[in-house]
Amino acid sequence: MDLSNDTVVVITGAASGIGRAMANSFGAAGCKLVLADVNADDLEVADGEVRASHKVDTLTSITDVSKADQVEALAAATVDRFGAVQVICNNAGVAGKGDPWLGPIETWEWTLGVNLWGVIHGVRAFLPRILEAGGGHVVNTASIAGLFPGFGPAYDASKHAVVALTEGLYHAMEPSPIPVGVSCLCPGWVRTGIIDADRNWPDELGERPELEAGQEVLFNYIRTAIEEGMQPAAVADMVVSAVRKNRYWVFPHPDFVEIAMDRFHSIGEGVNPVMPNESPGLPPREQMVAETMAAVMAALEAQ
């Protein structure tokens, strides 16, 4: 689709990282922007940045995407302000701490609430309004974790679900006489605040889970990989290009896609799952396992 100063683009998780970069890339295309996030302070800064850089109209909204009523209110406020909406970027996402099997269930509730239900609410609230506007585009931010697991079970599960529902949406929209494009964004490491996502842990879920003994090892390596990851602006520019060219897959990291392809080959062969020993940006898995075991033993001895 063409992007112009008549195009209204809504971005969730717009206060930081990839969402904030998307705001700048769509702003550079002249689009009117609706920026939604739970973090009011960061949202104000992002809004100021995008308005100063691109001189576009914006609306900001404190919206928790895990809550259907808040996402519905966001969609209504968008149409109230701008008269229509053409593009929704369901981008807000989190990655929690805590042991998935022995730790608190709230880590699952939070991760699935934001990463999966946030996307479901976003599609359900905005799709009818995009159709009313005569067409547009839906961008769902999944992750390479949506194509092969290994980033934590709750995160992996949420992102696999986003990949699946986004593909379903693509098939549903393809024959539609009203054109609605669909894109699925699956990045690897991107230089954002995701590793500290629990800064937004909601009070209503009780005490914020912490890292368990040994989890720090992988966590610290992932922090480094993210700090050395792709710039969010490069990812955002790929998203804008995918919307313009109506491209479904947005893969900023081809090296990670190779791992996904190996996984699907081994599924086809019916062999038991094997974790890749080498993942981009991380030391060999054997080394991380050995360091994790040493950290667990040290914690036990200290007790």
CA distance 15 to 205: 22
> What letter does residue 212 receive in the DSSP assignment?
P
Determine contact, residues 87/2, Cβ cutoff 8 Å.
no
* Sequence-distant contacts of 22-26: CB under 8 A, at least 24 apart: 22/89, 22/91, 22/236, 22/239, 22/240, 23/50, 24/49, 24/50, 24/53, 24/54, 24/233, 24/236, 25/233, 25/236, 25/237, 25/239, 25/240, 26/87, 26/240
* Among positions 197, 236, 250, 282, the unique one binding ligand NAD when judged by CB under 6 A: 197
Q: Does 183 bind ligand NAD (CB under 6 A)?
A: no
- # chain residues binding ligand NAD, by CB under 6 A: 33
CA distance 72 to 275: 40
Q: Does 226 bind ligand NAD (CB under 6 A)?
A: yes
Q: Does 75 bind ligand NAD (CB under 6 A)?
A: no
Determine contact, residues 127/170, Cβ cutoff 8 Å.
no
Per-residue binding string, ligand NAD, 227-266, x by CB under 6 A, is: --x-------------------------------------
- Select from 36-44, 101-109, 126-134, 284-292 the region that touches ligand NAD (CB under 6 A): 36-44
* Among positions 3, 11, 31, 65, the unique one binding ligand NAD when judged by CB under 6 A: 65
- Select from 2-10, 62-70, 257-265, 277-285 the region that touches ligand NAD (CB under 6 A): 62-70
Q: Does 16 bind ligand NAD (CB under 6 A)?
A: yes
Q: Does 19 bind ligand NAD (CB under 6 A)?
A: yes
Helix ranges (DSSP H) in 55-105: 68-82
- Give CA angle at 295 (104, 189), nearest 5°: 70
Angle between helices 40-54 and 17-28 (to 10 degrees): 20
Nearest distance, CB of residue 291 and ligand NAD, angstroms: 22
Residues 40-59 that bind ligand NAD (CB under 6 A): 42
Active site residue 248: no
- Select from 125-133, 164-172, 185-193, 240-248 the region that touches ligand NAD (CB under 6 A): 185-193
Angle between helices 215-227 and 285-302 (to 10 degrees): 130
Nearest distance, CB of residue 293 and ligand NAD, angstroms: 26
Query: Which position has the token pair 């547009």?
Result: 136
Q: Does 119 bind ligand NAD (CB under 6 A)?
A: no
Nearest distance, CB of residue 109 and ligand NAD, angstroms: 12
Q: How many CB atoms lie within 10 A of CB 215?
A: 18
Q: Does 192 bind ligand NAD (CB under 6 A)?
A: yes
Residues 6+ apart with CB under 8 A from 280: 188, 189, 225, 253, 255, 256
Q: Which member of 155, 170, 221, 248 is catalytic? A: 155
Nearest distance, CB of residue 268 and ligand NAD, angstroms: 25
Q: Does 66 bind ligand NAD (CB under 6 A)?
A: yes
By C-beta, is 6 or 228 nearer to ligand NAD? Answer: 228
SS3 20: helix
Q: Does 15 bind ligand NAD (CB under 6 A)?
A: yes
Footprint of ligand NAD (CB under 6 A): 12-13, 15-19, 37-39, 42, 63-66, 91-94, 114-115, 141, 143, 187, 189-190, 192-194, 197, 200, 226, 229
Just list the catalytic residues: 155
